[in-house]
Amino acid sequence: MRYLCMIFATEAQMGTIPPAEMAAFVNEHLDYDDRLRASGHFVESEGLEAASTAAVVRVRDGRLSVTDGPFIETNEQLGGFYLVEAASGEEAVRLAAGIPSSRVGSIELWPVFELARPTEGAQP
């Protein structure tokens, strides 16, 4: 089963990483990517730009609304994600705990709902 590991942190939490150590912190993430690939758990990972570059898109009654970020009602921001393959929820927790950002912010772990197109004539 696939699990989405979303990395959340406040600007203050991220500010605890001295600029001189940021490259090493980023490299820790890239090294973790490599370990996940080697173990067969890696699906995808990406970092995200600052919340101020994001937008919320909504369509209500046929009308498009776009709101600039930051857009969330919390100090924490979504900073990146890992999409991993795990045999169980317990294994997914272990993999999420290995993400270096778990030491600075928090990792929100969600099982991925696998969408499948219903076959013709299938009953709901």
Identity of the amino acid at 32: Y
pLDDT tens digits along 83-106: 999 999 999 999 999 999 999 999
| Distance, CA of 105 to CA of 28 (rounded, Å) | 15
Q: Percent of the chain scored above 90 by pLDDT?
A: 65
Residue 79 region by backbone torsions, left for phi larger than 0, else alpha for psi between -120 and 50, else beta: alpha
What's the gap between Cα 19 and its chain centre? 23
Q: Residues 4-31: what's their mean pLDDT?
A: 93
User: Which tokens is 51 given?
Assistant: 């919340």
| Distance, CA of 54 to CA of 87 (rounded, Å) | 33
What does DSSP say about strands 63-68 and 77-85: parallel, antiparallel, or unpaired? unpaired
What is the value of pTM for the model shown? 0.83
Residue whose token pair is 């994600």: 81
Question: Is the pLDDT reported for residue 74 higher than 80?
Answer: no
